[in-house]
Structure 1
Amino acid sequence: MADAQQTEIRTERNLFQALKVYAHPRVVGMAFLGFSAGLPLMLVGATFTAWLRDLGVELAAIGFLSWVGMAHSIKFLWAPVVDRLALPGLTRLFGRRRSWMLAAQVTIAIGLLGMALTDPTENLMLVAVLAVMTAFGSATQDIAIDAYRVEAVKRERQGAMAATYVAGYRVAMLTAIAGALNIAGMSNWTMAYGAMALLMGVGIITTLIIREPEVTVDRMTLAMEEKVMNYLDRTHHLGWRRDFNAWFIGAVICPFADFMKRFGAIALLVLLFVATFRISDIFMGVMAQPFYLDLGFSKSQIGNISGAFGLAMTLTGAAMAGVLVARFGISRMLIFTAFMAPATNLTFAWLAGLGPEIHGLVIAIIADNITGGLAIGVFIAYLSSLTNTAYTATQYALFSSLMTLPGQFAAGFTGMLAAKVDWMWFFIITAGTGIPAIVLAIILARIANPDRINRPGMSG
């Protein structure tokens, strides 16, 4: 009896210690940075297209302008600049990460304010330029915030950092869609985009309050950088060519060489796992809305259950990720979420057979969104464990792009698949696409356990 009571006390203590992770100041601050990151995404995406159409802009022009959002898919191209280039004045005052965050946030706010003050029907080209400016500012902010999140805390707090980031991000997306549309409906689009520009103050104030993360460079990285300097000492290039070579090797070549050197023969397995982990989720997500409509659910039912209720479930899953990673570690949670992500696709196969029953939709949304929030939180913690803090921005931008690009490209063919098979078989097939990630998660847990990976450069 006494042993059982002691076990129960230890369990409660472990749970309490796991929950305490959310009280860390940097974990709390990440929610506000997540809000700042999520706000501009829809303002150059879905809300942007709604604004243009509402004012009578032609569909062809709207289609071309949707390309501005591609900045987030190619952000790895200028991540080395964010990683290594010091901003005159700002970097000295705020540090490497905060200076880029602040510059990006101010750029976004100016871009949104400019859009608010410009009429697309009179000067569509200027609106397009301001939207591109906002999108690139948003993608650059993502690079800097991702790097800060990885460097700011120890591995056991990465799940909580991911959870609060996802929470802030999702709330901001809802604000940028529902909030902006409601303001535009009650007033006008100038007020809507003006209000969103003011809300970027959340990120700016947070950036000014937080401290720059303390990182160190490990011996292996110093040795590699010393080889670069030795090479430059031997080169015949002078002036700008020598300076450019120094920057390019240090900012572009070294991050990839570092990753390959640390992981060796299993590096390709790690990259393959990153590329396949979210495929089943992305495949299912593309066809979710058409599926609900085809099944017979009304637009209001879809909006209320998959939208607002779904957001609450996603945030619940993300919060669970922070606690569970702190309690059980990244490796076991990776295997669990790699299995659960495709498994929840089967609830939609069940819903397809059940028909337009509200309770069925609620169950499917609970299963999918809690699992989705949990998987995103755990996977962000995993990606963080792969980086070297000497090259955080470059390496994390590569991983995050690799995480979505293959699935997004392949998802373009899901409409053809859905047209050839019924909905039940469609979701069964998409569940099957998650099998490679499950197998790779188990293999990597044995040969490259993320809880035992030494993340270079962490000082505390």
Structure 2
Amino acid sequence: MPLLVLGFASGLPLALTGGTLQAWATLSDVSLQNIGFLTLIGSAYTLKFLWAPLVDRYAPPVLGRRRSWIFSTQILLGAAIAAMGLYSPAGSLMTLALLAVMVAFLSATQDIAFDAYSTDVLRKEERAAGAAVKVLGYRLAMIVSGGLALVLADRWLGWANTYFVMGAFMALCAVATLLAPEPEVIARPPRSLAIAVVEPLVEFFKRPGALGILLLIVLYKLGDAFAGALSTTFLLRGAGFTGTEVGTVNKVFGLAATIVGALAGGAFMTRLGLYRSLMLFGLLQAVSNFGYWVLAVTPAHIYSMALVVGIENLCGGLGTAAFVALLMALCKQEFSATQFALLSALSAVGRTYLAGPLTPPLVEAIGWPGFFVITVLIALPGLVLLRLRRAEIDGLEAGR
């Protein structure tokens, strides 16, 4: 149960600085180019490996090596998210963006500690189920901060009060951190900050095929990243759905499908193994992007949106569960904060520095239908590289 709630706390801030903020800016008539650049707020998730060694080496003097960081960032996040409700994209876009950057930084720091905690606390045979539970909590948070937030803002509370409520949810998650257990085996922290910075990298790059694995992490979900970069804007402006329709179907129903996919992914992984799961789920998440092409070339209908969004998110959830299990398998416990931060940061490179900035000019140049076809092609290099790296992945599963 604590892992589920901590996964929820990990996922809550992302939509509030991503898709939900994107919807708020869209409905406030912010330009498409500025909305595209708002995706750069997520840079903290890409750069978090820079301060992850501090989390590995030092810790506040209460609640243990990992939970102390998690608890501290959750309290600060509650305050920062609530502060975003004091401003609006129409009148104070820069101030709001700076607050969102602060939220992203604190959220990335929480993720460093939480990812290390889950890597440390789960036994090897629990990784598939643990990855599914993490994704379940994460996606439940996306329903709350994505779909529910859009509906609350559109129909009842307005944007300011919605962000106040989300900040309160974030602060409440700190209770689960207080109740969470410590790992059975507690690894000693690095003896110095220099060792915390250097040794995780040295240990990782000594492994056979390390560079290929790093490139695979960048490419595996790149097609998904492009398809999702402006998906909310597409559904609102390109397909013509209302904010409530998008909030209900894209954010609530779609994320519920992701949860089903994540849980199914955890179950299938125990039978298929890590490599075959990554390949099968990767193929499914690539092909599912064609659904957005269908929405772009057919008249808008709530049922067709529900079907497309459901299938795409179901396949994305399958791929995410396998991907998280891969990242956990790659980490050594002593350096789990730094290594997991480096690996997960690399996975955000495509979303932050490629998909966000490049999607607006691509859409303007070729239109929404052509863009979604290209997202399928973007996913293929990652699958080819996955096939080439099969030996290394099989080695991880065998415990070598």
Band the TM-score falls in, shorter-chain normalisation = 0.7 to 0.9
- 2:221 corresponds to: 278
Is the aligned partner of 1:429 residue 2:398?
no
Shift of 1:302: 4.1
Gap change, CA 1:453 and 1:383, over 3 Å in 2: farther
1:363 to 290, 307, 313: 307
Q: Which has the higher contact order (CA 8 A, sep 6+)?
A: 2
The aligned residue for residue 387 of structure 2 is 442
Contact 2:46-2:352 within 8 A present in 1 as well: no
Cα gap change, 1:426/1:98 in structure 2, threshold over 3 Å: closer, same or farther? Answer: same
Among candidates 41, 57, 77, match of residue 50 of structure 2: 77
Alpha-carbon distance between aligned partners in 2 of 1:197 and 1:281, rounded to the nearest angstrom = 28
CA contact (8 A) 1:113 1:197 kept: yes
- For the residue of structure 2 that corresponds to 1:398, the secondary structure is helix
| Residue matched to 1:239 | none
* SS in structure 1 at match of 2:397: coil
User: Which consecutive residues of structure 2, in runs of 5 or more, have no partner in the other structure?
Assistant: none
- Cα pair distance change 1:289/1:388, threshold 3 Å: same
Q: Deviations over 1:25-61 (max 9, x none)?
A: xxx3222112212223344556568889999999999
**Cα pair 1:146 1:393 within 8 Å, conserved:** yes
Unaligned residue ranges in structure 1 (runs of 5+): 1-27, 226-245, 456-460
Aligned partners of 1:392, 1:83: CA distance in 2, in Å? 8
Asked if 2 retains the 8 angstrom alpha-carbon contact of 1:32 and 1:202, the reply is: no
Task: Give the secondary structure class of the aligned counterpart of 1:211.
Answer: coil
- CA positional deviation for 1:210: 1.3
Contact 2:257 2:314 in 1 (8 A): yes
Within 5 Å, give how 1:80-95 maps onto structure 2.
80-87=53-60, 89-90=61-62, 94-95=63-64
Quick one: distance in 1 between partners of 2:296 and 2:32? 33
- Match of residue 259 from structure 1: 204
CA deviations over 1:326-383 (Å, ceiling 9, x no partner)? 2322121011122222122234445555554555434322321110011111101111
Given that residues 275 and 407 in structure 1 are in contact (C-alpha distance below 8 angstroms), is that contact kept between their aligned partners in structure 2? no
Structure 1 letter corresponding to 2:349 = L
Q: Aligned pair count?
A: 396
**Offset of residue 205 of structure 1:** 1.2
Q: Using a 3 Å threshold, how does the CA distance of structure 1 residues 426 and 214 change in structure 2: closer, same or farther?
A: same
Distance 1:31 1:447, change over 3 A: closer
For 1:205, what is the secondary structure of its paired residue?
A: helix
**In 2 relative to 1, CA 423–331 (structure 1 residues): closer, same or farther, beyond 3 Å?**
same
Write the mapping of 1:315-334 to structure 2, written as runs, cut at 5 A.
315-334=259-278
Pick from 175, 186, 194 the counterpart of residue 205 of structure 1: 175
| Corresponding position: 1:170 with 2:113 | no
The change in CA–CA distance for 1:451 and 1:59 in structure 2 (over 3 A counts) is closer
**Does residue 1:153 correspond to 2:122, yes or no?**
yes
- Corresponding residue for 1:342? 286
CA–CA distance in 2 between the matches of 1:260 and 1:159?
25
Matched residues in 1 for 2:393 and 2:156: separation? 55
Q: Which range moved further: 297-306 or 364-373? A: 297-306
Contact 1:155–1:381 at 8 Å: present in 2 too? Answer: no
Instruction: Indicate conservation of the 8 Å contact 1:317/1:374, yes or no.
Output: yes
Q: RMSD between aligned alpha carbons?
A: 3.9
1:140 matched to 2:109: yes
Letter of the structure 2 residue corresponding to residue 272 of structure 1: L
Of 421-430 and 371-380, more deviation after overlay is shown by: 421-430
> In the alignment, what sits opposite 1:19?
none
Summarize the Cα distance change of 1:62–1:369 in structure 2 as closer, same or farther, 3 Å threshold. Answer: closer
How far does residue 113 in structure 1 lie from its aligned partner after superposition? 5.4
Partner of 1:269 in structure 2?
212
Deviates more, 1:73-82 or 1:177-186: 177-186
Moved more, 312-321 or 67-76: 67-76
How much has 1:109 moved relative to structure 2? 2.8
Change (3 A) 1:56 1:427: closer
Q: Is the 8 A contact 1:35 1:172 kept in 2?
A: yes
Aligned residue number for residue 400 of structure 1: 344
Rg (Cα) greater in structure:
1
8 Å Cα contact 2:22-2:233 kept in structure 1: no
8 Å contact from structure 1 (residues 157, 322) kept in 2: no
Match of 1:96 in 2: 65
User: Kindly tell me: are residues 343 and 155 of structure 1, through their superposed partners in 2, closer, same or farther at Cα, counting changes over 3 Å?
Assistant: farther
**Seq. identity, %:** 35
Task: Report if the CA contact (8 A) 1:215-1:389 is conserved.
Answer: no
- 1:374 and 1:343 map into 2 onto residues whose CA distance is 13
TM-score (norm 2): 0.83
Decide whether aligned partners of structure 1 residues 304 and 199 sit closer, same or farther in structure 2, where only a CA change above 3 A counts.
closer
Q: Check 1:351–1:156 CA distance in 2 against 1; reply closer, same or farther (3 A cut).
A: farther
For residues 412-439 of structure 1, the C-alpha deviation after alignment (integer angstroms, 9 at most, x for no partner) is 3233334444654433332122222112
Task: Give 2:224's aligned amino acid.
Answer: D
Deviates more, 1:417-426 or 1:311-320: 417-426
Matched with 2:251 is 307
**Map of 1:100-249 to 2, 5 A cutoff?**
100-112=69-81, 133-177=102-146, 179=148, 182=152, 186=156, 192-215=162-185, 247-249=192-194
Q: How does 1:53-64 map to 2 (within 5 A)?
A: none
CA change 1:371–1:209 in 2 (3 A) is same
The more displaced of 362-371 and 55-64 is: 55-64
Worse overlay, 297-306 or 159-168: 297-306
Distance in 2 between residues matched to 1:272 and 1:137, nearest whole Å: 27
1:206/1:186 Cα in 2 relative to 1: closer, same or farther (>3 Å)? same
8 A contact 1:30–1:165 mirrored in 2 = yes
**Matched residue SS, 2:181:** coil
Q: Once the 2 structures are TM-superposed, how far is the Cα of residue 189 of structure 1 from its aligned partner?
A: 6.6
1:286 to partner: Cα distance: 2.5
For structure 1, which segment, 186-195 or 270-279, has the greater mean C-alpha deviation from structure 2 after superposition?
186-195
CA deviation after TM superposition for structure 1 residue 100, in Å: 1.0
CA distance in 2, matches of 1:75, 1:349: 34
* Contact 1:33–1:168 (CA under 8 A) maintained in structure 2: yes
